[in-house]
């Protein structure tokens, strides 16, 4: 009993001490940082597409402009796009330059993978683009209309570098740490002859250039020179490797040198000619970007050749009518192959892209008198003003009867005469018997773009009675945007959606596509470091997200 008493007494003392201690607890209050409170408010918003009233706008599509590899690799972009958007548009991979090969055939493996992946996610794919002057396989098209060679007594291709991997000498090539190398057994090269180089990329990399093969040659290239790359390739996975022009190994200079090399499970010969532009001058290394596809890549019989024009060549220039016939056939081959392949999944197309001239906005663009880039080819310079008439005719012929066919251009909100010129050209196309279902306005704008002109543009477009699509919307805030700049960006995203809702009738609303979705990195090819997106580069929502969400709420 004495022990129990002591225990009880001790317990009472401890309770009293605890009571005294509680009386002295300090009550700390602190205010949540404003930046955290603001981000919590942004994150409280729902997924973007939930803000579109589909009962009122059953045909409206909220689109995202992205790259094929970002989507088909099922990366963060894949999940972000599936949650927030109804449709995707590819920035490059459905264009002529990405699909048409050196012999004019169409490599649609990547496109088909994209279509299948999007279909499984219940997203539509907007076809971009069928007839444009940029991102074309211009080398192939120009070869079709090149002068006929009657005789030659000297000019030809001089061998600059050759590699068949039959020895261990690696002076002609190397690779970075993203790849491991080996040689196949003898008899496993192309045509079961000799051996080949085997490069392995163990996993999909953050950047396509994180795994690179380098081909070295000498001398360095000069402006205007013509080179040809020939190589036998295959891989264990269907893939594509863009090529960079580099100043020695690792010295990046230009994003394109000899096109993008396609790979399949069987050996194929890749041939690409290029004329050296200012962006390539002084380069002596070709880098092949393999980082976006995991697997084994095989190479054999590589040649780099330089065209030597010295000597006597007799040629016969084709007539303008001959060129017109040839290019018309090439356009038919391209559109028929592309549209027929995609018609099961793709129901809307950007048929003609950027036709109007900036300096003469009621006239078509032309390449005449210009120094053209290696991927530029102006169809209108050979087919005339009716080039768009023919493009719409072919898209209608080979597609689905209910496909929605668009014409698309940029700066329509900046140059209202260009907007009017495009509308006049639509009227011309329809006067020639072809229906244009819709008009796309790209809207690459800034926080300081003229709001009055934006409003007027939507009024002009609405008056056409056509489907209207904001096809490539982004709002650049600048390299080092202030809080005020970002607020202006938020307001501009909302303003564009507000004006679309105000002036475009429900039955003319095709949709709005956000171009790029996230901010661009400082070394990106599109709007580098301009903070233009609804998400930042870490995929965190910005206040611009809320502005756009509030804007599309108004689609009533």
pLDDT digits (tens, 9 = 90+) for 500-530: 999 999 999 999 999 999 999 999 999 999 9
Residues 199 and 347 in one domain: no
Write the DSSP string, 215-250: EE-SSPP-TT-EEEEEEEEEESS-EEEEEEEESSTT
> What is the average pLDDT value for the chain, to the nearest integer?
93
Q: 298 and 244 in one domain?
A: yes
User: Among 13-17, 87-91, 166-170, 311-315, which stretch is predicted with the lowest mean pLDDT?
Assistant: 13-17
Is the residue at 426 inside a domain?
no
CATH assignment at residue 510? 3.20.20.80
Q: At what angle do helices 483-503 and 451-462 cross, to 10 degrees?
A: 20
% residues pLDDT > 90 (the chain): 90
Residues 207 and 292 grouped into a single domain: yes
Q: Which backbone phi and psi does 297 adopt, to 5 degrees?
A: -120, 140
**CA distance linking residue 552 with residue 512, whole number of Å:** 9
Residue 156 shares a structural domain with residue 227:
yes
Please state, in angstroms and rounded to a whole number, the distance separating the CA atoms of residues 331 and 192. Answer: 37
Residue 34: band (very low, low, confident or very high) from pLDDT cuts 50, 70, 90: confident
Residue 28 is predicted with a pLDDT of 61
Q: Judge contact between 64 and 85, C-beta under 8 A.
A: yes
pLDDT tens digits, one per residue of 49-63 = 999 999 999 999 999
Does residue 85 sit within a domain?
no
Give the pLDDT of residue 201: 97
List the CATH number of the domain containing 154: 2.60.120.260
154 has pLDDT over 80: no
- Report pLDDT digits (tens) over 298-327: 999 999 999 988 866 778 999 999 999 999
- Pairs from 187-193 (Cβ < 8 Å, separation ≥ 24): 189/164, 189/165, 189/232, 189/300, 189/301, 190/232, 190/267, 190/269, 190/300, 190/301, 191/267
Q: Is the pLDDT of residue 8 over 60?
A: no
Would the pLDDT of 200 be above 50? yes
Of the three residues 314, 348, 382, the one that is the final residue of a domain is 314
Q: Which domain holds residue 348?
A: 91-114+125-146+318-420+431-439
Residues 469-493: tens digit of each pLDDT = 999 999 999 999 999 999 999 999 9
Residue 484: inside a domain: yes
- Over the stretch 263-292, which tens digit does the pLDDT of each residue have? 999 999 999 999 999 999 999 999 999 999
Asked if pLDDT for residue 103 goes beyond 60, the answer is yes
- For the entire predicted model, the pTM comes to 0.69
Same domain, 324 and 278: no
**Do residues 98 and 69 touch, judged by C-beta distance below 8 A?**
no
Specify if 11 maps to a domain.
no
Residue found by looking up tokens 């990547």 in the block: 110
DSSP state of 506: G
Claim to verify: residue 183 and residue 288 sit in the same structural domain: yes
pLDDT one-digit tens code per residue, 543-552: 999 999 999 9
Domain-embedded: residue 82: no
pLDDT tier for residue 32 given thresholds of 50, 70 and 90? confident
Of the residues 314, 332, 357, the one at which a domain ends: 314
Q: Quick check: is 345 in a domain?
A: yes
pLDDT reported for residue 472: 98
**Cα(9)–Cα(4) distance, integer angstroms:** 9
Between 7 and 28, the more confident residue is 28
Are 265 and 325 in the same domain?
Answer: no
Same domain, 167 and 239: yes
pLDDT at 540: 97
Does position 17 have pLDDT exceeding 70, yes or no?
Answer: no
Looking at residue 9, its pLDDT comes to 40
C-alpha atoms less than 13 angstroms from C-alpha of 268 in its C-beta half-sphere? 19
Is residue 7 situated within a structural domain?
Answer: no
Position 21 scores a pLDDT of 44
Residue 29, pLDDT above cutoff 90: no
Residues 200 and 344 occupy one common structural domain:
no
* 158 lies in the same domain as 298: yes
217 domain residue, yes or no: yes
Peptide bond into 219 cis (omega under 30): yes
Do 161 and 309 share a domain, yes or no? yes
Phi-psi region of 282 (alpha: psi -120 to 50; beta: other; left: phi over 0): left
How many domains is the chain built from? 3
State the Cα–Cα distance between residues 41 and 25, nearest whole angstrom.
33
- pLDDT of 7: 37
Q: What is the pLDDT of residue 23?
A: 47
Is residue 118 over pLDDT 70? yes
In angstroms, rounded to a whole number, what is the distance separating the alpha carbons of residues 131 and 138? 13
Share in percent of the chain as helix, strand, coil (round to 5): 35, 25, 40
Same domain, 271 and 323: no
Picking from 314, 340, 375, the residue at the C-terminal end of a domain is: 314
Point out which residues pair with 288 in neighbouring strands.
213, 243
31 falls in which pLDDT band (50, 70, 90)? confident
Quick: pLDDT tens for 377-436.
Answer: 999 999 999 999 999 999 999 999 999 999 999 999 999 999 999 999 999 999 999 999
């Amino acid at each position: 009993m004495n022990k129990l008493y002591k225990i009880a007494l001790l317990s009472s003392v401890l309770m009293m001490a605890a009571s005294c201690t509680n009386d002295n607890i300090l009550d700390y209050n602190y205010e949540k940082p404003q930046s955290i409170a603001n981000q919590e408010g942004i994150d409280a918003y729902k997924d973007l597409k939930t803000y579109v009233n589909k009962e009122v706008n059953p045909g409206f599509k909220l689109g995202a402009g992205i790259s094929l590899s970002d989507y088909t690799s099922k990366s963060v972009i894949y999940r972000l796009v599936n949650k927030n958007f109804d449709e995707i548009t590819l920035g490059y991979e459905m264009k002529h330059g990405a699909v048409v090969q050196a012999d004019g055939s169409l490599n649609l493996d990547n496109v088909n993978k994209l279509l299948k992946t999007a279909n499984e996610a219940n997203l539509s794919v907007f076809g971009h683009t069928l007839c444009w002057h940029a991102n074309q396989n211009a080398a192939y098209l120009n070869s079709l209309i090149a002068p006929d060679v009657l005789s030659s007594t000297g000019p030809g291709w001089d061998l600059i570098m050759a590699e068949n991997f039959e020895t261990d000498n690696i002076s002609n090539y190397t690779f970075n740490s993203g790849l491991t190398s080996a040689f196949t057994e003898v008899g496993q090269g192309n045509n079961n002859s000799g051996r080949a180089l085997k490069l392995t990329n163990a996993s999909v990399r953050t950047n396509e250039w994180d795994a690179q093969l380098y081909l070295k040659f000498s001398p360095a290239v000069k402006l205007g020179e013509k080179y040809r790359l020939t190589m036998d390739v295959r891989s264990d996975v269907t893939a594509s490797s863009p090529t960079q022009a580099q100043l020695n190994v690792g010295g990046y200079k230009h994003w394109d040198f000899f096109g993008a090399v396609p790979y399949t499970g069987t050996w194929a010969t890749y041939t690409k000619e290029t004329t050296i532009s200012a962006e390539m001058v002084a380069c002596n290394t070709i880098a092949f970007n393999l980082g976006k596809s995991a697997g084994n890549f095989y190479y054999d019989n590589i040649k780099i050749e330089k065209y030597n024009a010295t000597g006597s060549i007799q040629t016969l220039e084709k007539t303008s009518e001959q060129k017109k016939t040839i290019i018309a056939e090439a356009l038919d081959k391209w559109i028929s192959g592309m549209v027929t392949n995609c018609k099961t999944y793709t129901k809307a197309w950007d048929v003609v892209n950027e036709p109007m001239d900036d300096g003469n906005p009621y006239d078509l663009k032309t390449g005449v008198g210009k120094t053209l880039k290696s991927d530029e080819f102006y169809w209108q310079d050979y087919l005339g003003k009716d080039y768009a008439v023919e493009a719409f005719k072919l898209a209608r012929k080979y597609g689905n009867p209910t496909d929605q066919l668009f014409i698309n251009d940029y700066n329509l909100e900046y140059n209202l005469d260009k907007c009017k010129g495009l509308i006049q050209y639509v009227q011309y196309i329809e006067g020639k018997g072809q229906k244009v279902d819709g008009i796309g306005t790209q809207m690459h704008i800034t926080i300081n773009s003229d709001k009055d002109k934006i409003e007027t543009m939507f009024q002009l477009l609405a008056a056409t009675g056509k489907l209207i699509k904001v096809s490539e919307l982004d709002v650049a805030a600048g390299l080092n945007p202030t809080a005020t700049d970002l607020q202006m960006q938020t307001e501009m995203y909302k303003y564009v959606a507000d004006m679309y809702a105000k002036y475009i009738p429900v039955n003319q609303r095709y949709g709005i596509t956000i171009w790029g979705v996230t901010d661009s990195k400082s070394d990106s090819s599109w709007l580098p470091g301009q903070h233009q997106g609804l998400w930042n580069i870490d995929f965190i929502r910005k206040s611009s997200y809320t502005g756009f969400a509030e804007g599309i709420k108004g689609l009533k």
